Amino acid sequence: AMSFWNKYNRTMFKNVFGSGFLVRTAHVILTWVITLILFLHDTELRKQEETGQLVQPVLFVLLVLVSVLLYFAVSLMDPGFILSDDSDLQFTLGVTEEQQDMIPPTTKSLRQRRCGHCLLQQPMRSKHCQTCQHCVRRYDHHCPWIENCVGERNHRWFVLYLAVQLLVLLWGLHIAWTGFSYAPAWQLWLRTNGMLLAVAVLVALLSLIVLLLLGSHLYLVSLNTTTWEFMSRHRISYLKHCGTDENPFDRGTFHNLWGFFCVWGTVVWEQVYFREGSDQV
């Protein structure tokens, strides 16, 4: 038990003060610099603030704050690291991936394989992340934006963060648009609105990226698949035996979304795979 907690504490310390520290610091600084620029220019936020109409300025700042807090929650959260062998699941140990590939898809005794890097048993849908140096339950992808994996424990929070971030960006883009002032000459207009234009272009690009990310994740969640499974289906032992359009984890759009957003706990995906139920442990 002591070894488990020591490893967990080292993992969390690395998350907070590792290479991601600069990325997170840059994200926070950029967020508040853009927010400050929107307030300093002659935008509707500044006009409302000067006239004492504080509802929208306060709401905007609070929404920015919520997005930053969600960002830190997702980036520092344990995504589902596997730090010890799972003794609750009784599967055969020490089987290589090549041996596992020989098991027919209808067999009820699918064996867990040991990770070739951390030497721990990998439950179904988990994968070893080379960057984090841990296996992650229901691995989706490693996100350099948050410098953390997106997995079973933080995936829904990642989607929520994307939704809030998109709302902030679109609102910020609207605010920037209201701040452009008229000038009789192009050079004078650019000198007057150059900083706001740069912010507007940056926010527009970020909005497009976040919109595409959010849309793709909601689509994959509605199918109960992950980015890794979607991109590497032909190389994953428990999927490459299935047909092109067959997903053994798909329980229908409504149940997939409900399970993702509303059901808490660790799912035994081996049971779902064999349609034996999705009891939690």
pLDDT in tens, 156-166: 999 999 999 99
pLDDT value, residue 16: 54
Confidence of residue 10 (pLDDT cuts 50, 70, 90): low
pLDDT value, residue 87: 42
- Assess whether pLDDT exceeds 90 at residue 139: yes
pLDDT digit string, tens, across residues 30-84: 999 999 999 999 889 988 988 889 999 999 999 999 999 999 999 999 999 998 8
Note whether residue 281 is domain-resident.
no
Note whether residue 110 is domain-resident.
yes
- Assess whether pLDDT exceeds 90 at residue 281: no
Q: What percent of the chain has pLDDT over 70?
A: 81
Average pLDDT, the chain: 83
Q: Which amino acid, one-letter code, is at 198?
A: A
d(CA 237, CA 74): 29
pLDDT value, residue 279: 46
pLDDT digit string, tens, across residues 206-259: 999 999 999 999 999 999 999 999 999 888 888 888 877 788 999 999 999 999
Note whether residue 34 is domain-resident.
yes
70 or 22, which is more confident: 70
Note whether residue 106 is domain-resident.
yes
Segments forming the whole domain that contains residue 169: 2-273
Q: What percent of the chain has pLDDT over 90?
A: 53
Note whether residue 280 is domain-resident.
no
pLDDT value, residue 109: 47
Point out the residues that are catalytic.
143
pLDDT value, residue 167: 98
pLDDT value, residue 154: 95
Confidence of residue 128 (pLDDT cuts 50, 70, 90): very high
- Assess whether pLDDT exceeds 60 at residue 280: no
Note whether residue 25 is domain-resident.
yes
Note whether residue 278 is domain-resident.
no
pLDDT value, residue 73: 96
Using CA of residue 253, residue 254, residue 259, residue 262, what is the dihedral sign?
A: positive
DSSP character string of 3-39: HHHHHHHHHHHHHHHSTHHHHHHHHHHHHHHHHHHHH
pLDDT value, residue 192: 85
Note whether residue 135 is domain-resident.
yes
Total count of domains within the chain: 1
